[in-house]
Amino acid sequence: MSNFLQSYSTLQKSFLPETFAISSPAEIEAALQEASAAFIPFAKKTFIERAVFLETIAEEIMNGGDALLQKAQEETALPMARLTGERGRTCTQLNLYAKLLREGNWCDAVIDTAMPERQPLPRADLRRMLQPIGPVLVFGASNFPFAYSTAGGDTASALAAGCPVIVKAHESHLGTNAIVAAAVIRAAEKTKMPKGVFATLVGTGPVLGQQLAMDERIKAIGFTGSYKAGMALYTTATQKRKTPIPVYAEMSSINPVVLLPQILAEKTSAIATALAGSISLGVGQFCTSPGLLFAIDDAAAKNFAQELVTALKAVAPATMLNPTICKTYYNDKTSLASSENIQVLYDGDNLEENHQAMPSLMQTTAAHFIAIPALQNEVFGPCSLLVLCKDVEEMNAAIASMEGQLTGSIFGQEQELKANQNLIDQLQQAVGRMIFNNVPTGVEVCNAIVHGGPFPATTDARTTSVGPEAIRRFARPVCYQDCPDALLPLYLRNENEANILRLINGVLTKASV
């Protein structure tokens, strides 16, 4: 076994020349030890200091300029416009958490002042706020070399919370990781963050990833990737370690789209066009790609299926992220197509040799969908399964049989939606985000977003990996009872120096105590 890794370029159909040394045991131990030592000093930095750190990371990433974008394109085959946008989004995320820190309200400060005269017992002075959980292990995502990798959402929210971060570089974009990691480390130095606040290590998931997940100094894990890899981490984190830790693994989601009959009849073409675009967007390599469509088996559905096939046929072949994803796409698609009672409506050419993919559309009945759980297995890529239901009741049963999902879309006229409240309620049980009359791709970075959902979409439906709430994943509440004012964290002292909202004796206020 060689002691280095190389990224593969699906565009160039070859390994890229740059080599990345596999982290040595000494390097791994140093990263863990330094992250652990950095924890308390980093946790004690003010929110403003951490905000400046995040803002400086964004600046340093932008300083990477075109060289960073070119490297990412070589390593992921993603179009330059997409990469430029994703880099922007990454900086937006960093700045969003910086803003959250500057406002300071995220820490949920609560103060109940002492009641020394209370009968039968006096009440102590009790104050609570969120505190960071400890060093966090982050796994880069293949499909988001910037926004969900080295300095992506998991890293940004963990650092914002006050947790040192160790990133296991994704093997597909090692060069991109190196450039972004260097930017983070420069920002840490410039803003005088403790040594060890950020590190990146190179190795394979099953070896390095598992080793890091087993280490007691790691206190939480952020992961985006396959069900298999996510569950391997989840098992390690919950069962193999001495101390179980939270795992935020975003794994598989097929993002059901429910098409009610009236709107489908009225807007057949528009819906088919929108879905074809969503299914093929980014060669289907989005966690919110619509892999499952429900319709009532009527004439409109038949027209819709035809129009969707037509629209998908017009989609040009496109290069996938890496050979493994491409190979898995063809394998999983073939496996689905060869399942009993699956009808292939359209299957693009096999371009695996070129690491390229074309869309695919299959069809089955609700009865089969309900009977065969394997039909819910994610096919990562531009493939979708149309499930035809006899009636709304069967549609409801099919939805009820579904595993957890990141999103659930429903297309319906307003009256039609109102008449199907039960169906909406049922769909809601399975998803983190309910979308009305639109496709699931496109995740807005805003306060109200939820990017998460019931298992197996994620291992923790109580959280979101996008938006300000993601910071809570890496924090826990700590209560201080009768703590002298000078020893309290800044945000809980009598004087509200940071000017944050605090719940004082039940009243939300920016006043001092």
Q: Footprint of its own copies on residues 220-239 (CB under 8 A)?
A: 234-235, 238-239
- Which residue has 């994943």 as its token pair? 473
Cα separation of 92 and 115, whole Å? 45
Regarding 357 and contact with its own copies (CB under 8 A), the answer is no
Cα separation of 512 and 496, whole Å? 5
Regarding 261 and contact with its own copies (CB under 8 A), the answer is no
Whether residue 224 contacts residue 287, with contact meaning beta carbons closer than 8 Å, is answered with: yes
Candidate ranges 18-26, 72-80, 279-287, 449-457; the one touching its own copies (CB under 8 A): 449-457
Q: Which of 301, 475, 498, 500 binds its own copies (CB under 8 A)?
A: 475
Cα separation of 319 and 75, whole Å? 12
Q: Which of 433, 457, 471, 500 binds its own copies (CB under 8 A)?
A: 433
- Which residue has 């910071």 as its token pair? 471
Minimum CB distance to its own copies, residue 287 (Å): 15
* Backbone φ/ψ region at 470: left (φ over 0), alpha (ψ -120 to 50), beta: alpha
Q: Which of 107, 163, 287, 326 is catalytic?
A: 287
Regarding 503 and contact with its own copies (CB under 8 A), the answer is yes
479 a catalytic residue: no
Regarding 501 and contact with its own copies (CB under 8 A), the answer is yes
**Closest CB to its own copies among residues 100, 156:** 100
- Report angle CA 374, 332, 288 to the nearest 5 degrees: 80
Cα separation of 174 and 76, whole Å? 10
Regarding 425 and contact with its own copies (CB under 8 A), the answer is yes
Cα separation of 318 and 307, whole Å? 21
- Binders in 314-353 for its own copies, by CB under 8 A: none
**Closest CB to its own copies among residues 29, 414:** 414
Regarding 205 and contact with its own copies (CB under 8 A), the answer is no
What's at 254, amino acid-wise? Answer: I
Cβ-based neighbour number of residue 156 at 10 Å: 28
Six-digit token string for 16:
């890229």
Minimum CB distance to its own copies, residue 325 (Å): 26
Minimum CB distance to its own copies, residue 165 (Å): 18
Regarding 79 and contact with its own copies (CB under 8 A), the answer is no
**Closest CB to its own copies among residues 212, 457:** 457
**Closest CB to its own copies among residues 74, 154:** 154
Of 506, 222, 243, the residue nearest 233 (C-alpha): 222
- Binders in 110-149 for its own copies, by CB under 8 A: 110-112, 121, 123-124, 126-128, 131, 133-134
- DSSP annotation of 465 reads S
Of 307, 251, 255, the residue nearest 278 (C-alpha): 255
**Closest CB to its own copies among residues 276, 427:** 427
Six-digit token string for 119:
């009968």
Whether residue 196 contacts residue 23, with contact meaning beta carbons closer than 8 Å, is answered with: no
**Closest CB to its own copies among residues 208, 417:** 417
Q: Which of 51, 292, 357, 417 binds its own copies (CB under 8 A)?
A: 417
Minimum CB distance to its own copies, residue 433 (Å): 4
**Closest CB to its own copies among residues 187, 370:** 370
Of 484, 480, 460, 482, the residue nearest 472 (C-alpha): 460
Regarding 428 and contact with its own copies (CB under 8 A), the answer is yes
Q: Which of 74, 86, 171, 250 is catalytic?
A: 250
Regarding 510 and contact with its own copies (CB under 8 A), the answer is no
Of 459, 449, 331, 373, the residue nearest 89 (C-alpha): 449
- Binders in 10-39 for its own copies, by CB under 8 A: 39
Of 379, 299, 390, 309, the residue nearest 344 (C-alpha): 309
416 a catalytic residue: no
Candidate ranges 144-152, 207-215, 303-311, 440-448; the one touching its own copies (CB under 8 A): 440-448
Beta bridge partners, 206, equal none
Regarding 159 and contact with its own copies (CB under 8 A), the answer is no
Enzyme catalytic residues: 250, 287
